């Protein structure tokens, strides 16, 4: 399986959703697939695509049959020399390793624990918006949605303030290829970022091995369950998993509220903001798909998947499945219940979900408090690579 697909980048989207518009609106294609070919094999990417809620849910829950350890299917994170910390994170681990790599930190991300950070997230949001130079035009992405999550995760990890810019550059290099870059250039960029991050975190871990602080790097550095590479992998995972995803949630919320004309009703409190955010998560899920590998031959949606084959469950499609959601193509900010899969399901359910929800709630609350009008310009929308969102969202604002 490994050699024949080496020319297709592993992050390549399927053919029908490669252009800009269809990346922003892949939903007709999903509907077609759910109807005509809900579990289908894509020869070019060499993966099974799964589109319906029922099967996506099953793949996510059944971690024994659908492994997250992608090394078995030749999906490689950047690898530097003999160092394999990229492989050894909870995201890419199956039980029993998965539990070991997650349990030591679980408590820190429980909703009750994370809520204690709300006041600080509010301060960071206000500080960010106080820096605006133009009071009439903002870019939601660069002025708030990009910098906020990186500041929050940096604080939780206990990263010195002066390194946060660097932190963001690394995170971007790993998930967001520069549009002008060739695949090769992007790979080199990723490798460089990876090496620099490893060196940086390694030094911090050395400093914190004796404990004392209550930051997450200290927690990981003193966790007896983790070896050195796993500790580095944990730091890098948090940085990557929590940034662009949360950026996109904040941006997609402003975008959806405008597109569906609900901004004023959210501002006035007529629509509950937290509920509206859940609908954004369903309607424009920042993570549209995840990846798995079959560990044994299995039947799914009437098709037979062979052990070792790749499987791509499309969360973004499951979240629009009419067997699960009434009028799924409608944006209904008061939808309840809303059992979307935007944060995944099963043992890999997003560790940072409570944090992402608070960040989005605080960011939107502050934007709506500060500006009496927010009018996004949606004429020139550019999709962000990898995750579902926009590279910029310029808005005319009034106070
Ligand atoms: C896992 C989405 C924010 C940390 C996941 C998964 C999804 C997801 C779909 C499951 C992946 C899989 O099953 O293969 C999102 C979205 C976010 C978000 C949509 C923002 C709106 C965050 C934040 C953090 C975070 C803020 C951390 C600070 C993680 C981690 C995992 C994960 C560590 C792996 C959990 C495991 O494997 O047990 N996320 N995420 N995420 N997320 Fe998030």
294-340 pLDDT, tens digit each = 999 999 999 999 999 999 999 999 999 999 999 999 999 999 999 99
- Asked whether the predicted pLDDT for residue 160 surpasses 90, the reply is no
Give the model's confidence band at 1: pLDDT under 50 very low, under 70 low, under 90 confident, else very high.
very low
Report, as an integer, the average pLDDT of 210-234: 93
> Is any atom of ligand 1 closer than 6 Å to the C-beta of 290?
yes
Q: For residues 76 and 84, is the Cβ–Cβ distance under 8 A?
A: no
Cβ of 289 closer than 6 Å to ligand 1, yes or no, is no
Q: What is the mean pLDDT of residues 199-220?
A: 94
Counting every residue written for the chain, the total comes to 399
| pLDDT single digits (tens) 240-274 | 888 889 999 999 999 999 999 999 999 999 999 99
* pLDDT at site 168: 78
Give which of 294, 344, 357 is closest to 318, Cα–Cα.
Answer: 344
Indicate if ligand 1 lies below 6 Å from the C-beta of 348. yes
Average pLDDT over residues 28-41: 96
Regarding the beta carbon of 355 and ligand 1, being less than 6 Å apart is answered: yes
CA proximity to 334, closest of 373, 388, 280, 258: 280
Q: Give the pLDDT confidence score for residue 275 in this predicted structure.
A: 98
Our CA angle for 368, 371, 377, nearest 5°, is 90
Complex ipTM more than 0.90, yes or no: yes
* Residue 93 confidence (pLDDT) above 70: yes
> Is the predicted pLDDT of residue 112 greater than 90, yes or no?
yes
Checking if the pLDDT of 8 tops 70, the result is no
Reported for 327-334, long-range contacts at CB under 8 A and 24+ positions apart, including other chains, are 329/27, 329/31, 331/256, 331/259, 331/260, 331/262, 331/279, 331/283, 332/279, 333/257, 333/260, 333/262, 333/265, 333/266, 333/271, 333/275, 333/276, 333/279, 334/271, 334/272, 334/275, 334/276, 334/279
The confidence band for 16, taking pLDDT boundaries of 50, 70 and 90, is confident
Asked if 348 and 60 count as a contact pair (C-beta separation under 8 A), the reply is: yes
Strands 298-300 and 137-139: unpaired
Q: Work out the angle between the directed axes of helices 164-175 and 147-157 (0-180°, nearest 10).
A: 110
pLDDT digits (tens, 9 = 90+) for 73-88: 654 555 544 555 455 8
In the predicted model, what is the mean pLDDT of the chain?
89
Rounded to an integer, what distance in angstroms lies between the CA atom of residue 211 and that of residue 209?
A: 5
Residue 277 has pLDDT above 80, yes or no: yes
Q: Pick the more confident residue, 387 or 152.
A: 152
What residue owns the CA closest to ligand 1's atom 2?
343
6: pLDDT strictly greater than 50: no
Q: What is the mean pLDDT of residues 81-98?
A: 77
pLDDT at 81: 47
Using an 8 Å Cβ cutoff, are 229 and 113 in contact? Answer: no
The DSSP output letter for 14 is P
For residue 98, the ligand 1 atom closest to its alpha carbon is: 38
d(C-alpha 24, C-alpha 285), whole Å: 11
Residue 392: the pLDDT is: 95
pLDDT confidence bin for 4, thresholds 50/70/90: very low
Question: Is any atom of ligand 1 closer than 6 Å to the C-beta of 240?
Answer: no
pLDDT score for 219: 97
Per mean pLDDT, which range of 72-76, 114-118, 153-157, 239-243 is the poorest? Answer: 72-76
- Contact of 150 with 167, CB cutoff 8 Å: yes
pTM (2 d.p.): 0.93
Atom in ligand 1 nearest the alpha carbon of residue 341? 9
Contacts of 203 (CB under 8 A, 6+ apart): none
Gap between the Cα atoms of 263 and 252, Å rounded: 13
Q: What are phi and psi of 324, to 5 degrees?
A: -115, -30
pLDDT, position 189: 80
């Amino acid at each position: 399986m490994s050699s024949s697909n080496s020319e297709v980048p592993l992050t390549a989207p399927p053919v029908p959703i490669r252009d800009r518009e269809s990346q922003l609106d892949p939903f007709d294609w999903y509907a077609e697939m759910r109807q005509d070919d809900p579990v289908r094999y894509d020869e070019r990417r060499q993966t099974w695509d799964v589109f319906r809620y029922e099967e996506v849910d099953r793949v996510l829950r059944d971690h024994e049959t659908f492994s997250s350890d992608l090394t078995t299917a030749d999906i490689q994170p950047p690898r530097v020399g003999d160092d394999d910390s990229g492989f050894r994170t909870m995201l890419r681990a199956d039980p029993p390793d998965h539990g070991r790599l997650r349990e030591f930190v679980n408590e820190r991300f429980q909703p009750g624990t994370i809520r204690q950070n709300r006041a600080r997230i509010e301060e960071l949001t206000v500080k960010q918006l106080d820096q605006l130079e133009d009071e009439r035009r903002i870019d939601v992405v660069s002025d708030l949605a990009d910098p906020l999550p990186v500041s929050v995760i940096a604080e939780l990890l206990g990263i010195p303030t002066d390194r946060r810019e660097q932190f963001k550059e690394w995170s971007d290099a790993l998930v967001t290829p520069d549009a002008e870059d060739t695949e090769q250039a992007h790979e080199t960029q990723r490798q460089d970022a990876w090496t620099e991050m490893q060196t940086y975190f390694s030094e911090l871990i050395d400093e914190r091995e004796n404990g004392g602080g209550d930051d997450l790097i200290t927690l990981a550095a003193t966790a007896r369950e983790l070896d050195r590479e796993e500790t580095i992998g944990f730091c890098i995972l948090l940085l990557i998993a929590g940034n662009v995803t949360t950026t996109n949630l904040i941006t997609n919320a402003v975008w959806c509220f405008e597109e569906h004309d609900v901004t004023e009703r959210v501002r006035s409190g007529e629509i509950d903001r937290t509920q509206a955010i859940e609908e954004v998560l369903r309607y424009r899920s920042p993570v549209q798909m995840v990846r798995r590998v079959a560990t044994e031959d299995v039947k799914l949606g009437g098709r037979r998947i062979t052990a070792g084959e790749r499987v791509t469950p499309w969360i973004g499609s499951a979240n629009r499945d009419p067997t699960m959601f009434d009028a799924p193509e409608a944006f209904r900010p008061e939808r309840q219940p809303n059992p979307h899969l935007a944060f995944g399901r099963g043992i890999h359910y997003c560790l940072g979900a409570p944090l992402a929800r608070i960040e989005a709630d605080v960011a939107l609350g502050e934007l709506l408090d500060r500006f009496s009008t927010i009018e996004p310009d949606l004429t020139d929308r550019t999709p962000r690579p990898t995750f579902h969102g926009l590279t910029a969202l310029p808005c005319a604002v009034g106070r």
